[in-house]
Structure 1
Amino acid sequence: MLPRVHTPSKAISSILRKRRPVRSQRQYATAAAITPAASHEQMTRSSSPIARYPLTQPPSYKPPEFRKSQLLRQYASLLRSTPLMLLFQHNNLKANEWVGIRRELSAALKKVDAARVAAGHPPEPLEDAIKVQIIQTGIFAAALRVVEFFKPESQSASLDPTDPATPSSATVPVFTKSGDELTHTLSKAAHEAVADIRTAHALAPLLAGPLAVLTFPNVSPQHMKAALSILSPSPPDFPAPTRRANPGWHDAAVQSGLQKLLLLGARVEGKVFDVDGTKWVGSIDGGLDGLRAQLVAMLQGIGGGVTNTLESAGRSLYFTVEGRRTILEDEQKEASGETAKQ
């Protein structure tokens, strides 16, 4: 006997008919919706260069989303805001070696801050702002060229695209809505200004190989001396800490890392110093206050010498005139006495 097949009821069949997928109607843009004049105007009309970018991100010659571009901006800002910078060459330092070196450097700088506060100086914790970091040498060299040789405020006025005398083949720079030329670090003007400059800067010979920089927010010879005593000790001016005073500096990891660090030079207030000049800056007694005291003493000595020289000339002339006057008075007395006798 064949099995009985149950037919679906009317309610079920109506539900199935309602559940059928409905094909969505796509709407296509037709050419008839746009007039030929309007389409030609839209094709020929170009938006302003700044309209394609947000106000917080002006157009750049270098793509700002790349890591190299951000490193270039970071290094340029570091060079503009750092008055004192030490350059070191490192050779494959391990992570635990960097940790030990940073630990000892931070401890030495904290001691300098505490000593300054104890001497009566206002509290100024520079230890938190003094950093040592590894840099990308090629990008750092490019940022240095931009900072040193790109001076937009001293350049001549750029070409005006609205001037009829401007040739159509001239390279017109990109302007903002206010009419100012874009002169930031990643702009095309900055790139063209330093494109042909390679080794013109005095720091360029040192920018080779793996480098690390130690940056200071202020020119402080005292902090610089403490840093050199930790990173590049050289007695007698920069003695290394003793084992009793600082046993952590003598750890195997720290000593292994210090052997791979080599001091190359410094950049102080935009001027380049070699190793000897760097050590001279760090060996100034009393820091900037001591340097000011030495300058005042030198100026006072120069002023005292000039005063003595001028006074000696006047004093000599005075004595000469007085001696001559005395001689003339004596001769006159003798002549008057002889006349009275006669």
Structure 2
Amino acid sequence: MPPRVPISSFRRQALRCPYELRIARAASTAAAPAVTPAAPIEQMTRSPAPIARTPPTQPPSHRSPEYRRSQLLRQYTSLLRTSPLMVLFQHNNLKSTEWAAIRRELTKALQKVDEKIAAEGRTSPELSPYIKLQTVQTSIFEVAVRIVEYFRPSEDALASGNPPAPSTPDDPALTHDLSRSAHIAVKKMKGKHELAEVLTGPIAILSIPTVSPEHMKAALSILTPKEAGFPAPTRKGNPDYHDPTVQLGLQKLNLLGARVDGKVFDIAETKWVGSIEGGMDGLRSQLVMALQSMGSSVTSTLEGAGKSLYFTMESRRSVLEEEQKGEGEKSESS
């Protein structure tokens, strides 16, 4: 059996180790003192560079781009520029389940329109995946409308090519939607555009990426059939549309108007756009027929005037010939 080592020896060794380690570290530090090189004179006399508050790929902005309001403003301006047909509704405290049910029925109706267009052999692309019904922040959307309607950057700023990156938000070379130039240009136009009276209270927008009266009619027949004057789906044809959740949600929607190619339409004009048969192709055919009928009427009018002049001259010529014959006979008899 090995001899036992007394515990007191371990305690003494444990107490001696930290003290010896501290002495060794102090000796090594004193033996090799750290030397920090002095900064160059140019660096000491030169003022420090300003701290970049924005990355080099992002221009300075009047509105902070990291805020949600700024992102919504950019989203709304893009929506206004890329959606030539927009229908505006007022909604009153719709629940999430009601919104989901309404969007479901709207998608089904729009898909039927795409299927009908494809069955007729027309080459129009499918629009139902790109038609959106969404709520908007009214105050931010009103600013976006002003920027799209009234902010026109100067031609020099647009044709400048690749100018040096501006360093301050006050630089007039900045022409994006969050710039100081856009803010100043539209600040005095608040409440002066055509949608100012409509953009009050909670607003929902149906955006269509192209002017399609057929899709607009299908959407209005689902969302506001009574106000738009279009028949709603029957209970036999679409029983899901008459679900209580859908009907309760539709009772809280009111049609306000539409924006078509930058022009504001009231409810009556919105009905007229939705009532165009055959969509834009039908409208073009009606225009061609009207121009053809106008041309034929002008041609017939000109031909009638020419014919009447011809008959008048012919009758006059026959009268003159008879008079000449009568004078000749009198001269021969005399």
> TM-score, normalised to structure 2's length?
0.85
C-alpha separation in 2, matches of 1:213 and 1:18: 79
The equivalences for 1:8-87 within 5 A come to 8=10, 15-17=17-19, 33=39, 35=41, 38-42=43-47, 52-87=53-88
SS at match of 1:206: coil
Cα pair 2:169 2:180 within 8 Å, conserved: no
C-alpha separation in 2, matches of 1:109 and 1:289: 18
C-alpha separation in 2, matches of 1:73 and 1:54: 19
Cα pair 2:61 2:178 within 8 Å, conserved: yes
C-alpha separation in 2, matches of 1:18 and 1:310: 123
Of the three residues 6, 28, 43, the one matched with 2:8 is 6
Of the three residues 188, 192, 197, the one matched with 1:205 is 197
Give CA deviations for 1:209-264 in whole Å, capped at 9, x if unaligned.
Answer: 00000000111000000000000103895101110001111110111000000000
Structure 2: any 5+ residue segments left out of the alignment?
A: 1-5, 159-167
Amino acid at match of 2:10: P
Amino acid at match of 1:134: T
Partner of 1:267: 259
The equivalences for 1:229-268 within 5 A come to 229-234=221-226, 237-268=229-260
CA 1:40–1:197 in structure 2 vs 1: closer, same or farther (change >3 Å)?
farther
Of the three residues 279, 285, 290, the one matched with 2:282 is 290
Partner of 2:171: 174
Structure 1: any 5+ residue segments left out of the alignment?
A: 158-170, 176-180
Cα pair 1:237 1:283 within 8 Å, conserved: no
CA 1:254–1:87 in structure 2 vs 1: closer, same or farther (change >3 Å)?
same
SS at match of 1:234: helix
Partner of 2:182: 190
Structure with greater helix percent:
2
Cα pair 2:169 2:179 within 8 Å, conserved: no
Cα pair 2:62 2:179 within 8 Å, conserved: yes
CA 1:33–1:319 in structure 2 vs 1: closer, same or farther (change >3 Å)?
same
SS at match of 1:321: helix
| Structure 1 range deviating more: 233-242 or 205-214 | 233-242
| Structure 1 range deviating more: 240-249 or 313-322 | 313-322
C-alpha separation in 1, matches of 2:255 and 2:331: 91
C-alpha separation in 2, matches of 1:266 and 1:70: 24
C-alpha separation in 1, matches of 2:87 and 2:7: 92
CA 1:29–1:149 in structure 2 vs 1: closer, same or farther (change >3 Å)?
farther
Q: Percent identity?
A: 52
> TM-score, normalised to structure 1's length?
0.83
Cα pair 1:146 1:194 within 8 Å, conserved: yes
C-alpha separation in 1, matches of 2:35 and 2:181: 44
Cα pair 2:85 2:261 within 8 Å, conserved: yes
Give CA deviations for 1:139-188 in whole Å, capped at 9, x if unaligned.
Answer: 0001111111110035899xxxxxxxxxxxxx99427xxxxx11111111
Taking only aligned residues, the RMSD between alpha carbons, in angstroms, comes to 3.0
SS at match of 1:42: coil
Give CA deviations for 1:18-71 in whole Å, capped at 9, x if unaligned.
Answer: 7659799xx9999x7464x7545315x768xxx653243211110111100100
Amino acid at match of 2:235: R
Cα pair 2:132 2:208 within 8 Å, conserved: yes
SS at match of 1:8: helix
Partner of 1:279: 271
Amino acid at match of 1:191: H
Amino acid at match of 2:112: K
Amino acid at match of 1:207: L
